[in-house]
Structure 1
Amino acid sequence: MNTADAKRILETALICSTQPLPVRELRVLFDDELGADTIKSLLIELQEDWTQRGLELVSVGSGWRFQSRPEMRDHLDRLHPEKPPRYTRAALETLAIIAYRQPVTRGDMEDIRGVTINSLIIKQLEDRNWVEVIGHRETVGRPALFATTRQFLDDLGLASLDQLPTIDSPAQHNALIDALTDAAGPDQAALPMDAPDEALPADFPVVPNPDAAADDGPDTPAAPLEKSP
């Protein structure tokens, strides 16, 4: 099989698929006759072939997919002018905390935000398949540890958490929240990246939003944290 035929097969499979396809599944198209490195090389060539098109081939958390380019969004939105209900800012800030500080407990999130987090917010993020429980902290009460999912990466167009942008100013914090808001809609939005190759430092604090208090909705002031024995 020549390169052109192999690329055409990959292209067809990816366009017709409703979900991202990992390399291991793409190898099945060729009865495993092509190795993973060969498949990846062909995918990179396909990316270059589509550079001048309205679609782009990207690698996300669970595989490869075609998606519309960000600059096409305004035009595509005209086909579906009605937007689904937006997530509250409190929910998106909670999601941002989980993304940057994972794994975290609900108590960790409340300590960072300074308010008690409504249990419905966590459930909403779990129902969206953006966060999940990955274990429990070995302390009093064994609280659940939350982390983001591959679906979270897919919806933001990221291949890994290392591609999350650094946040060291309120403006960048707001840009992140806006990107999460867009990703909650029917179309995936690319996350703005100031430094796509730099991972966020593990001890980086989430920048508080000065307007958060007005958007927190059902959240209530957090009770003082008790020390673990």
Structure 2
Amino acid sequence: MNTQDAKRVLEAALLVAQQPLTMRDLRSLFADELGADALSALLDELVADWQGRGVELVSLASGWRFQSRPEMRQYLDRLHPEKPPRYSRAVLETLAIVAYRQPVTRGDIEDVRGVVVSSQIVKQLEDRNWIEVVGHREAPGRPALYATTHQFLDDLGLSSLDQLPAMHEVGADPEAMLAASMQESLLGAAPDALSDVTDGDERLPVTEGDAALIDGK
């Protein structure tokens, strides 16, 4: 198979795929006769071929996919005018802390936020498949350790956590981290339009130790 035909096969498979395709998926298209280096080169060519168009080919945490460019969203949203889900500040702060400090326990999150983290918040993030339990800390009660998922990165359009802004670039405030790094496609609303619902959070007194954690010291 020549290069042009191989690119057509890749393009067709990626355009009709419902989910991102891994390198293994893509190699299976050619019965593993195409090496990883050759496949990567063809994908790079496809990325270049689609430059300047309304759709782009991107590499995400779980594989490769075609997606609309961000500047197309205002037009595409007219096809589906229903409002996207809104997430409270409590949910977004919790997600930001997990993203930047993972793996963390609920106790770790509470230390940073200075509030009790309700089960509803954790369940909402788990149901959205943005966080998951990755282990348990060897401490009394063996609390669950939470980390972000590939779905979280895919929804942000990222291939790895390394692509999140560095903490020193956005400050140590969880909400500021989130506003700087999470795209509207993930939030479902601009940061200044987020709901003020607390999701049952109960404020705790903030100690000097808590303040040090919040300041990132």
Shorter-chain TM-score: what band?
Answer: 0.7 to 0.9
3-state DSSP class of the match of 2:158? coil
How many Å apart are 1:86 and its aligned residue? 0.9
How many residues end up aligned between the 2 structures? 198
Residues 32-52 of structure 1: CA deviation (Å, up to 9, x unaligned): 000111111100110000001
Please report the RMSD computed on the Cα atoms of aligned residues, expressed in angstroms.
2.2
Alignment of 1:172-211 (within 5 A): 173=177, 175-176=179-180, 179=183, 182-185=185-188
How many Å apart are 1:175 and its aligned residue? 2.6
Give me the whole-angstrom Cα distance separating, in 2, the residues matched to 1:30 and 1:99.
Answer: 37
Identity level (%)? 63
Residues 13-69 of structure 1: CA deviation (Å, up to 9, x unaligned): 000001000111100000100011111110011000000110000000100000000
How many Å apart are 1:75 and its aligned residue? 0.6
Which residue number corresponds to residue 204 of structure 2? 222
Asked whether 1:100 is paired with 2:103, we answer no
Give me the whole-angstrom Cα distance separating, in 2, the residues matched to 1:48 and 1:59.
Answer: 13
Give me the whole-angstrom Cα distance separating, in 2, the residues matched to 1:148 and 1:128.
Answer: 11
How many Å apart are 1:84 and its aligned residue? 3.1
Give me the whole-angstrom Cα distance separating, in 1, the residues matched to 2:178 and 2:29.
Answer: 43
C-alpha change, 1:139 and 1:224, in structure 2 (3 Å) is: farther
Which residue number corresponds to residue 70 of structure 2? 70
TM-score (normalizing by structure 1): 0.80
C-alpha change, 1:223 and 1:137, in structure 2 (3 Å) is: farther
Q: Is the 8 A contact 1:59 1:159 kept in 2?
A: yes
Which residue number corresponds to residue 158 of structure 1? 158
Give me the whole-angstrom Cα distance separating, in 2, the residues matched to 1:136 and 1:174.
Answer: 25
Unaligned runs of 5+ in 2: 208-217
Give me the whole-angstrom Cα distance separating, in 1, the residues matched to 2:120 and 2:95.
Answer: 13
Q: Which amino acid aligns with 1:48?
A: A
Which residue number corresponds to residue 4 of structure 1? 4
Give me the whole-angstrom Cα distance separating, in 1, the residues matched to 2:60 and 2:157.
Answer: 6
How many Å apart are 1:74 and its aligned residue? 0.6
Q: Is the 8 A contact 1:22 1:62 kept in 2?
A: yes
C-alpha change, 1:127 and 1:18, in structure 2 (3 Å) is: same
3-state DSSP class of the match of 2:79? coil
Residues 165-204 of structure 1: CA deviation (Å, up to 9, x unaligned): 124346953633762x53144xxxxxxxxxxxxxxxxxxx
Which residue number corresponds to residue 212 of structure 2? none
User: Which structure has the higher relative contact order (CA within 8 Å, separation 6+)?
Assistant: 2
Asked whether 1:88 is paired with 2:88, we answer yes
C-alpha change, 1:67 and 1:128, in structure 2 (3 Å) is: same
